[in-house]
Amino acid sequence: MLLPGEEIVFTPAAAKIMKSRLAKDDPEAACLPGGVPRMAPYPWRIVQQDTHIFLLYEANTHSYRQIFTDGRKHNPLWDTWYGDSIGTWEGDTLVVDTVGFNDRFWFDAVGHPHTTQLHTIERWTRKDYGTLVIETTIIDPGAYVKPFKISMTAVLGPKDDLMEYICAENNQDLSHIQSEPANR
């Protein structure tokens, strides 16, 4: 959700991409990861260690995201779905700075595009025992004229186990989504 007072201003190239996108073209429909800041509506889990925080996702063929909390700097060679995430703590808020994304995912279900210049800064704050608020600043001069902020709220599901999730298309068979079934 776009925060109050924020607006999304596309570059001309990104506006053209946005107008051309159809739901059937969503990379998640082809079993590809959702990227950042997108989260599937399925359960996910946070696992924290001394040097990392892992986000384990039930959907997207059980993918995961790692956030390094060991003080390292960004790796300039990353070009991935979830990017190179560095986490630091500001009091009780986890601040996650991420760069190094590929340009193959949509960062929401509507199809907002991005480029490899995408830089996100997330602020994860636990509002109360069962509520986590994630505010994300989107910075991408290749797709947007100016940065903007979005927010999402995650609700704790203490009895939600991560279940087996099979994405049968496996990025191999999209024709059934795009056309009529073949005659048999």
Containing domain of residue 122, as a range?
Answer: 12-157
Give the model's pLDDT for residue 140.
98
**Burial of 170 (C-beta count, 10 Å sphere; 0-12/13-18/19+):** exposed
pTM value > 0.75? yes
- Whether 5 is in a domain gets the answer no
CATH classification of the domain holding 40 = 2.40.128
- Whether 178 is in a domain gets the answer no
Q: What is the DSSP-derived secondary structure letter of residue 30? A: G
- Whether 39 is in a domain gets the answer yes
What tens digit of pLDDT does each residue of 142-171 get? Answer: 999 999 999 999 999 888 888 887 776 544
- Whether 138 is in a domain gets the answer yes
Q: Is the pLDDT of residue 120 over 90?
A: yes
Number of domains in the chain: 1
Q: What angle do CA 170, 173, 177 make, to 5 degrees?
A: 110
Tell me which amino acid residue 138 is. Answer: I
Number of CB atoms found within 10 A of residue 76's CB = 9
